[in-house]
Amino acid sequence: MLKNVWITGASSGIGKALAIKFANEGWQVAASARRENLLKELNSQNPNIHPFPLDVKNESETKNIFLNIVKKFKTIDIVVFCTGIHDPDAEKKLSSEKIREIMETNFFGTLNSIMAVNNHFREKKSGHISIVSSVAGYRGLPAASGYCASKAALTSLAESLYFDFKRYNVRVSLISPGFIKTPMTDKNKFPMPLIKSPEFAAEKMFVGLTKKNVFEIHFPIAFTMIMKLLKIMPNWLYFFIIKKGMKTIKY
């Protein structure tokens, strides 16, 4: 029996690697992103990947695209919402315009995607909604006020939705990657410990989504466990450690 997955943010980075991984495993992949040309390239490389261009910031367009996906595939088993942006240079200047742009894409874009699949999963009483957040959502970090806020909001959203969808036998999971080499992290001008490839991330995500039944899929473990430790530290100790780190990397 064919399995179907919808992935947003599929034109590059983690989303692209995940689309390729699912397709190589025999799944039919509905791949969404704004850059239609990149989605068509993926389709030419693997016919299991089907382009559905989309700007998730547009709520009505997101709903219509999902209806088209269901019309083509009849049903969707898993959705993985990977859309995300970050601009560390702009965030250093603390721009309300930039923070609003990040929230509109990362949080509200994901929310639009969730609302698009809401009725489908509740009515069929099965399925899986997975939200890609980040360990950056654990605590506030320098030059990332908008990004950290958006990811923290996604993490809380996933936790709340876990209860809401469980009543309908729909699984909700959270994905919290550490540093993954993507066009977005290429903008960072500081050392990124234990940075991994998008293919590494896709492998961990595929296993967590299809072979395990956990709420949070986080990786690489050696790094995410350090971040989890920082999460539960007293504020004074956390601020002291981060301040020392900022001096080391000349923030």
The partner residues of 31 in beta bridges, in order of sequence, read 7, 51
Collect all residues with Cβ–Cβ distance below 8 Å to 84 and sequence separation of at least 6: 9, 105, 106, 132, 134, 150, 184
Instruction: Give just the sign of the alpha carbon dihedral 40, 42, 46, 50.
Output: negative
From the candidates 147, 162, 168, 238, give the one annotated as an active-site residue: 147
Q: Which amino acid is at 131?
A: I
Q: Is 147 noted as a catalytic residue in this protein?
A: yes
* CB burial of residue 138 (10 Å; 0-12, 13-18, 19+): buried
Q: Cα–Cα distance between 100 and 90 in angstroms, integer? A: 12
> Would you say 52 and 69 are in contact if contact means Cβ atoms under 8 Å apart?
yes
Of the candidates 24, 14, 117, the residue with the CA atom closest to the CA atom of residue 68: 117
Using DSSP, state whether 42 is helix, strand or coil. helix
Two tokens, residue 37: 């040309």
Active site residues: 147
